[in-house]
Amino acid sequence: MVSKASRSQVHGPRLTAQQEKDARAQLSIQFDRLKDDMDSNLISYDGSITLLNELGVDLASADVLPLSFYLESPALGQFTRSEFINGWLRLGVGASPISDQEELKRQQRQGMAQVMEAFRADAPVTPKFNATEKASSQKGLYTAVYEYTFAFARAEGQKNLPLDMAITFWELLLPYAPVYDADGNKAATGQPSFSPAQWQLWKQFLTEASNVRVISKDTWTQFLEFMREIDPRFETHDYEAAWPSIIDEFVAWVHEQR
């Protein structure tokens, strides 16, 4: 369940003109301290590491993904000025007075905690700061971040995601999926569930029993739907549905193993 604080975040912050001015000023100071030496409108890898360390976020953790989504990061370890500032405002930074950089980081850490709570619950995405239009997507935060990650993780100019990269990001994302059933409680109560054992079978199939070297966008997106629909013994899979062929081959392979 998402807390009251997280539910209120869904509708985006409402700042007074002075609150927004003060928040933008402090965020600009922070950005300038972290910016790349060669590009004043970019925080590159080293600056990102410093930022994440200050916020208590491990670069190799799943926390980076929803944060990067909201700050509209163009690539892992990069943030651009306008998107960085507006993204933090979108997450509620500035709703309380910001007197200095320490208060700014305190509010950022608080915002991150709320983001991760919403991420786990697949709660609605917070609209862009001061957005006047209705949100164009009804997708939850987990679903939006999952889909965003494919483009985020891909090398520039590439259509597909190398298999090793796909597995790395699945390892980060899957434990946060609403259907992920780490202890079997969801399956026991009849809820949609996807277990660690099922994930291990998928990983084994891809790395040992298939010739797959890259993951397409269609496979990446449809695998999330597959997780939501498949039963623990893979008995309800519909081969006539419009699944990518690799998913059909996977289910057939699982039955062969048994």
Q: What single string gives the DSSP state of each residue in 68-100? A: HHHTT-SSTT-EEHHHHHHHHHHTTTTSS---S
* Residue 155 burial by Cβ neighbours in a 10 Å radius (0-12, 13-18, 19+): exposed
- Cβ-contact 121, 178 below 8 angstroms: yes
pLDDT score recorded for residue 2: 42
**C-alpha–C-alpha distance, residues 253 and 241, integer Å:** 18
pLDDT score recorded for residue 12: 56
3-state secondary structure of 237: coil
All domains in the chain, ordered by first residue: 4-121 (1.10.238.10), 141-257 (1.10.238.200)
pLDDT score recorded for residue 131: 66
* Confidence category of residue 143, pLDDT binned at 50, 70, 90: very high
CA nearest neighbour of 161 among 218, 110, 93, 210:
218
Question: Is the entire prediction scored with pTM above 0.85?
Answer: yes
**C-alpha–C-alpha distance, residues 174 and 250, integer Å:** 18
pLDDT score recorded for residue 1: 40
**C-alpha–C-alpha distance, residues 71 and 65, integer Å:** 10
pLDDT score of 8 more than 50: no
* Confidence category of residue 183, pLDDT binned at 50, 70, 90: very high
CA nearest neighbour of 15 among 72, 92, 124, 85:
92
pLDDT score recorded for residue 137: 57
CB atoms within 10 A of CB 24: 18
Helix axes 45-55, 101-121, angle to 10 degrees: 90
**C-alpha–C-alpha distance, residues 32 and 79, integer Å:** 12
**C-alpha–C-alpha distance, residues 34 and 44, integer Å:** 8
- Cβ-contact 48, 79 below 8 angstroms: yes
Helices then strands, each counted (H, E), the chain: 12, 4
DSSP H stretches of helix in 97-244: 101-121, 141-153, 163-173, 185-188, 196-204, 217-229
- Vertex 113 angle, CA 5 and 151, to 5°: 115
CA nearest neighbour of 57 among 43, 77, 27, 72:
77
* Confidence category of residue 164, pLDDT binned at 50, 70, 90: very high
**C-alpha–C-alpha distance, residues 124 and 10, integer Å:** 6
